[in-house]
Amino acid sequence: MRILVTGASGFVGGVTADLLCAAGHQVTALVRDATARSRLSRMVEVVQADLLEPRQLAAAGVSRGFDGVCHLAALTRVRESRETPLRYFAANVTGTINLLAALDAGTRATGVAPRFVFGSSCAVYGDGGTSPIPETRAAAPTSPYGASKLAAEQAVAYQAATGRLGAIVLRSFNVAGAVGSHSDRDSSRIIPAALGVASGRRDAFRVNGDGASIREYVHVVDMARAYLTALRAVVPGQCTVYNVGSGVGVSVSDVLATVESVTGRDVPRVTLPAVPEPRALIADSTRIRADLGWNSPSSTIERIVADAWRSTAVLESVPVGRADVPIGT
C-alpha cells in the first residue's frame, strides 16, 4: 500500500514509518522538521508540511490518493495543555480536520477511500473509575489534551460515516523503549527522566507523593506493530476504537528500581507533595488482541528500560552498565 505517516519525526511515528517500510509498503513521511530525514529509513519518502497550513498540505501531495494513513502528529503533554489549551486544540483538532479535508479531496479525485489509523490516547477517559479500562468506559477527559484527542476522534468517526474513509482509533497508554535510531527524547516522561539521572545529566528524580501510582507501559515496537495490524483491518465506512497496552501495572517505585537494576547505577530521589492524579491507569486491551491478533511480546518493563538505556548510552556515549542485561533490538 501507499501509506502516509504524519508525525514521522516523532518517537512513535518514526518507528511506525520504518516498520511499514520494512513490511514492503511505499511510505511517505509528513514532517514539520526536515532533520527527521536522518532518523528514517532511506526508503521512506519525506515531505515537509504543517498540518495547520492547508496550502502546504496540498503542495506536499497529501491529496494524491493514499491507500492508508497513520496519523500520529500531535501535541501530547497533559500538564502543558492546561497552560496552552488553544494551542492543543489547534494542533490536535484543526490539524486533524485539515488532514481529513486534504484526504477527502484526494478520494473525490481518485476514488480511493483511504484506510485511516488515528493515534489517540487514554487521556480521553479522564481520571475517574477503576482499572483496567475497557473501550466501553465513557470518555470523560479532564485536560485540554484529552478533550482535543476526543474531538479529533469524533471528527474521524463522522468522516468515516460518509463512506469516504475507513478508520481505526488506537488509544495508547504509555509508550516507551527504543529501537534503532528512534528513542524517546521527552524528558518530562518517567523513563527518559529516570535514565537522565542514571546517565548523570540530572541530579535526582522528582517523585510526586509516595511513588505508588501505577501505570502501564507498551514498547514502541509493539505500538508500531499495532498500526501495521490496524491498517490491514480497517473497514470502509466504519470507525472502531481499540485500547493498546500491555495490561501490566507498574508503580513509579518499580520503574526506578528497574532503572537501577538495568543500568547498575543509583537513581537518587527527591520526594515532592502528591499531585491530583489517578492511582492506577491500566488498559484492557482484550478487544484488539481478540479482533486483530495483536500482542505485546516486547512490553516487559525490563525490556523497555534496557532498550531505552542502550539508546541513551549510544546517543550520549556513556557506559551501559551491566553487560548481562538482555538488550532488545
Q: Is 42 helix (H, G, I), strand (E, B) or coil?
A: coil
pLDDT digit string, tens, across residues 226-269: 999 999 999 999 999 999 999 999 999 999 999 999 999 999 99
Task: Specify the residue for cell string 473525490.
Answer: 108
Q: What is the CATH number of domain 2-176+218-244?
A: 3.40.50.720
Q: What's the confidence (pLDDT) of residue 316?
A: 56
| Tens-digit pLDDT profile for residues 265-316 | 999 999 988 887 788 889 999 999 999 999 999 999 999 999 999 987 655 5
pLDDT of residue 277: 79
CA distance 167 to 12: 19
C-alpha cell at 75: 501535541
For residue 128, name the pLDDT band (cuts at 50, 70, 90). low
Q: Where are the alpha helices (DSSP H) in 111-249?
A: 144-160, 190-198, 220-233
- Ordered by start, the domain boundaries in the chain are 2-176+218-244, 179-216+247-280+298-316
Q: CA-CA distance, 272 to 261, in Å (whole number)?
A: 24
Spatial separation of the C-alpha atoms in residues 238 and 166, rounded to whole Å: 5
The Cα–Cα gap between 218 and 221 comes to 8
Is CATH 3.30.1230.10 the right assignment for the domain spanning 179-216+247-280+298-316?
Answer: no
Residues 318/199, Cβ–Cβ less than 8 Å: yes
Active site residues: 145
